[in-house]
């Protein structure tokens, strides 16, 4: 399969680099400055599993003319509209679009633009970011990618993608219940982003203060209530996993949203915290801690835009 990876940031850069290292046919759609950096330095990954560098095939948007078999979309939610316009020429009759963005709202945009038949549900569980030198830094050992048909059931294309992504550095799973999986990830991410941004601290540091653990689980309960009312009650293994995740002493875990705040960048606040809060309002569910976290990050965005202007 010919794979087009949209961008070479944390998500696309990590998974795309692992695919290239394994000999898969991968091309990265990037901007001019990133293209120059990749041509000069290669795509570098710093990982607990071992550092490596690949020499990627790259293409700019104005040169994109041919259809690809798979389009892997891992951009930030606020860049999705621009990205869709850029990769549209790569979407043919047989193209599968695999988004691994955070949250859920992006599925509607992709389906509206390209049609439901072309879009899979997907998620990535990986803690990674770009450092100032453009290297993909893999912060923790998790490296999972999960995908499947939005309506459920295993399909031939999902199984084919499972084979494609079955390479060193990636834990891959084709799912028969990807919407449930995505809702659980949405709950987890909203909890981590909400509490670490609100406290401006890692999970480990929050656990070290009075009422820190209780605050984490109050927010977790709010988000679980929204998922349950939406028809996707979190399953027992997920609850057990997140309980361990949220009680690991000295954990360095913090949301990528907080990392964005720390470097003064735009965040996915409305796509994650805002969307969860809006769904809660529609369902009549009270989410005071989630609302406070959303307001906190939204206020940061107001100040960031003012400073930029």
In SS3 terms, 222-250 reads as HHHHHHHHCCCCCCHHHHHHHHHHCCCCC
- C-alpha distances (whole Å) from 136 to each of 70, 94, 149, 307 are 22, 31, 29, 28
Going by C-alpha positions, the residue among 267, 119, 87 that lies closest to residue 194 is 267
Query: Count of CB atoms within 10 A of residue 94's CB?
Result: 10
Going by C-alpha positions, the residue among 186, 8, 15, 1 that lies closest to residue 83 is 8
Look at the alpha carbons of 150, 72, 103, 180 in this order and tell me if their dihedral is positive or negative: positive
Strand partners, 130: 136
CA gap 155, 39 in Å, rounded? 37
Tell me the catalytic residues: 185
Given a contact cutoff of 8 angstroms between Cβ atoms, the answer to whether 213 and 221 are in contact is: no
> What Rg value do the Cα atoms of the chain yield, rounded?
19
CA gap 176, 195 in Å, rounded? 31
Both tokens assigned to 93: 């009759």
């Amino acid at each position: 399969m010919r794979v087009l990876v949209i961008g070479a940031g944390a998500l696309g850069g990590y998974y795309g680099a692992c695919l290239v290292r394994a000999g898969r046919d991968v091309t990265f759609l990037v901007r001019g400055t990133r293209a120059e950096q990749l041509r000069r330095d290669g795509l570098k990954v710093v990982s607990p599993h071992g550092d490596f560098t690949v020499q990627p095939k790259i293409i700019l948007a104005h040169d994109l003319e041919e259809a690809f078999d798979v389009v892997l979309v891992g951009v930030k939610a606020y860049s999705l509209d621009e990205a869709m316009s850029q990769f549209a020429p790569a979407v043919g009759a047989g193209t599968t679009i695999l988004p691994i963005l955070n949250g859920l709202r992006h599925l509607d945009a992709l389906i509206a633009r390209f049609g439901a038949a072309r879009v899979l549900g997907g998620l990535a569980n990986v803690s990674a970011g770009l450092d100032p030198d453009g290297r993909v830094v893999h912060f923790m050992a998790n490296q999972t990618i999960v995908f499947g048909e939005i309506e459920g059931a295993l399909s031939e294309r999902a199984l084919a993608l499972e084979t494609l992504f079955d390479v060193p550095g990636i834990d891959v799973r084709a799912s028969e219940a990807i919407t449930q999986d995505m809702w659980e990830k949405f709950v987890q991410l909203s909890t981590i982003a909400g509490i670490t941004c609100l406290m401006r601290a890692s999970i480990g540091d929050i656990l070290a203060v009075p009422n820190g653990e209780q605050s984490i689980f109050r927010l977790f309960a709010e988000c679980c209530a929204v998922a349950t009312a939406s028809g996707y009650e979190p399953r027992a293994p997920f609850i057990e996993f997140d309980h361990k995740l949220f009680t690991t002493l000295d954990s360095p875990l913090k949301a990528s949203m907080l990392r964005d705040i720390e470097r003064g960048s735009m965040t996915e606040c409305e796509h994650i915290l805002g969307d969860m809060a809006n769904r809660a309002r529609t369902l009549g569910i009270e989410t005071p801690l989630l609302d406070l976290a959303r307001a906190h990050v939204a206020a940061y965005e107001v100040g960031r835009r003012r400073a930029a202007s």
